[in-house]
Structure formats: C-alpha cells, structure tokens
Amino acid sequence: MRHRLFIACVAAFLSCLGTPSRAEEPPATGRRLYVAEPGIRDYLEYGGHGILVYDIDHGHKFLKRIPTGGLDPKTGKPLNVKGICADATSGRVYVGTTQQMMAIDLVTEKLLWEKRYDQGCDRMSISPDGKVIYLPSFEGPTWHVVDARSGDVIATIEPKSGAHNTVYGRDGKEVYLAGLKSPLLTIADTSTHTAARTVGPFAAAIRPFTVNGSQTLIFANVNELLGFEIGDLKSGKKLHRVEVQGFGKGPIKRHGCPSHGIGLTPDEKELWVVDAFNKKIHIFDATVMPPKQMMSLDVRDEPGWVTFSIDGTLAYPSTGEVFDVATKKIVATLTDEEKRQVMSEKMLEIDFVDGKPVRNGDQFGIGRVTAKK
C-alpha cells in the first residue's frame, strides 16, 4: 500500500512539473530545404507523400514531413506534384498537382486551402511580392492568374500553347509562359494580365527554361536537343543553339527530351544543364556568349531538373544529391525518415529566424544579377 502511495505521489509531482511541448521547443532558425513529394511523376518510392523538410545548415539532416493534400478524388492516391512556390512575407508555401493547388502555413504547417482548377494544373510561379500566382492548366490552352491569398482566379491568358512551365520575372512586370505544343515563348504583362509578345520560334517546343536577372535572355531546353537554345527577351529573336559535346543521346525514362532541366547559378557565372540518358549534369561558363562547356558531373539517376540555394553555394539536381557549387563535390544526399533515397523536381529553400520565415528561394534556377554588367 505504501509503495503504491509513493508511486502515486511521484507521478503527481512529475505531472506538476510538466513535459516540454512542441511549442516550448526552440523556434526554428536557419536554412531549410522544402521538397514536395511525389515529385517524380506519382512515384511514392522516391520519398512518399507530403513536404519533406531538411536542415541545410546541418548536412541536410531530415527534420520532418508536413502532410499535404493533393489526392485523386476517385482513387484516394497522391497525385504527382507539378510545382512548388513560396512567399516568406505571408508565410505560405504552395504545392500544385495535376488537378489542384494548395496553400500551407509555414508556421502552423496547416492546410489553408486546397482548390481544384478547370483544365488542371502544371508548374506555377509566384510574383516577387507574393500576391499573384500564374498557374498553367495541365498542358491545356490557358494560364490561370490566381490571387495567392484566396486561391481565386482573377484572370486567364490563353496562348493555346499546351501550358506547362512558368517563370515570373524578378521585377514582377513580366511572366514567361512556355507550352509543350509551341516553339514560341509567350511574355505576359502583369499590369494587364494579357499576352504582350512572343520570343522565338525555337527549334522545337520549349521545355524547362530559365531567365537572367535583368530579364534580357532566356536559356531553354527544347525537344530533341541535348543542350539548350538562347533567346533575346527584348527583341524576340533566337540567338544561339548550344549542343552538349562528347555525349550521345539515347532512350530515357521520363519527359521524352534529352535535356529536361536547366538553371543559372544566382551570380549568373555558370549554367547547369541536365542529361538524362548519360545521368550527367553538364556545366557551362555563362560569362561568355554563347556559354562554353566546362565539365560534367555524375548523378545517381536520370536528372529532370536542377535548382540552387538562395546564396548560390549549393546545387540541387532532382536526383537528390547536393553539390557544392564551388568545388563541384557532393556534400549530401537526400533521404527520408525511412532512409529511402529522395528525388524530386519540385524543391526550394526557405529561411527562418525564431520560427518565422524571412526569405525564400524558388524552384527555378533563375539568375539574380539585376545590375548591368
């Protein structure tokens, strides 16, 4: 009896002390990598479902998985993620699938809204002020212009190009729209949300592309090309075609084009181009025009995308390796809580101070040099 009474007293004492709750843990400070899954088609073997969060400052240690929506209403299975974007000012990250787009609070990690859009969704891009998202339909004729706060459509643009990839210019005045069914890049005027002009034609339909910070050049992958083409965003003319030298083309598992992924380092000194068949990343010197091929890096699977950390020191191919940009060495490989190899074509950096987001990168390897060279 005395023994049981003693145990009860100890338990009562400990309960008064309480146990640390999640809210009492030190708030997050530092750089975080947000990886949306399934980010390689709808394949769950590369990281499952949700947003995986990594601590960039501590060897890309896996921190947590944030649950997301994005389920097929007919089967209940996760749909493949088509894009990710974020706005630190409003504290939101947005994830789009083939059918819907959702907004998630970066502090509470709660789903704020999830909306389905007519003709589906593809890779979107958010305005620099975080107020507007240009959301392409799923390889359809239109782009939806969406109020980022509510998710409501406020306008539509209809280039009829097979809507696919979207890049918002850094000055917020123009958005670049590329489709799977057209060799022309459409440039939208954000003051009117209308198509203003085109660039091209390129040699074939435009696939992934990037633009420089001053918004004068586009570097684009196109169908059938192991390499890229360059267009002048001001004159509308195609300037150069650059083919990767020393490597052949062959059958690939995804995307149907040899190079599906291209990114400028933020300082615009290098251009990184993916090569699926050879499982390579080819690096070009972007300080000369046209860029000059310098070296190639091996990756563990077929790459389909590449982006960079905000400061440009780290490169993130979709195959899950993390490269030090200066040394070109692998400094980490992404795995989840089950130690599975993680791969995704939809990831970005978000930085926190005392639990609040203060800065965000994006899924695109866009140039960030805005002053004239």
**CATH classification of the domain holding 126:** 2.130.10.10
Q: In this prediction, what percent of the chain has a pLDDT beyond 90?
A: 91
- 123 secondary structure, DSSP code: -
The answer to whether position 10 is within a domain reads: no
Burial class (CB in 10 A: 0-12, 13-18, 19+), 85: buried
The answer to whether position 239 is within a domain reads: yes
The answer to whether position 8 is within a domain reads: no
Handedness of CA 35, 37, 43, 45 (dihedral sign): positive
The answer to whether position 53 is within a domain reads: yes
Q: Report the relative pairing of strands 143-147 and 132-136 from DSSP bridges.
A: antiparallel
Q: Are 205 and 254 in contact (CB under 8 A)?
A: no
Above 80 in pLDDT, residue 150? yes
Section 355-371 average pLDDT = 94
The answer to whether position 102 is within a domain reads: yes
Distance CA 357, CA 331 (A): 25
Above 70 in pLDDT, residue 7? no
The answer to whether position 244 is within a domain reads: yes
Q: Report the relative pairing of strands 153-157 and 163-168 from DSSP bridges.
A: unpaired
Section 229-247 average pLDDT = 98
Into how many domains does the chain fold? 1
The lowest-confidence range among 25-34, 117-126, 187-196, 304-313 is 25-34
Section 175-181 average pLDDT = 98
The answer to whether position 365 is within a domain reads: no
- State if pTM tops 0.85: yes
Distance CA 171, CA 129 (A): 10
Q: Are 137 and 120 in contact (CB under 8 A)?
A: yes
pLDDT top residue among 9 and 271: 271
Of residues 330, 204, 367, 207, the one with CA closest to residue 274: 207
Distance CA 263, CA 366 (A): 6
In sequence order, which residues have a C-beta less than 8 Å from that of residue 366 and are 6 or more positions away?
167, 170, 210, 211, 212, 213, 263, 264
Structural domain boundaries enclosing 100: 34-360
The answer to whether position 16 is within a domain reads: no
245-258 residue pLDDT tens? 999 999 999 999 99
> b/e map of 270-284 (b: 16 or more CB within 10 Å)?
bbbbbbbbbbbbbbb
pLDDT top residue among 370 and 106: 106
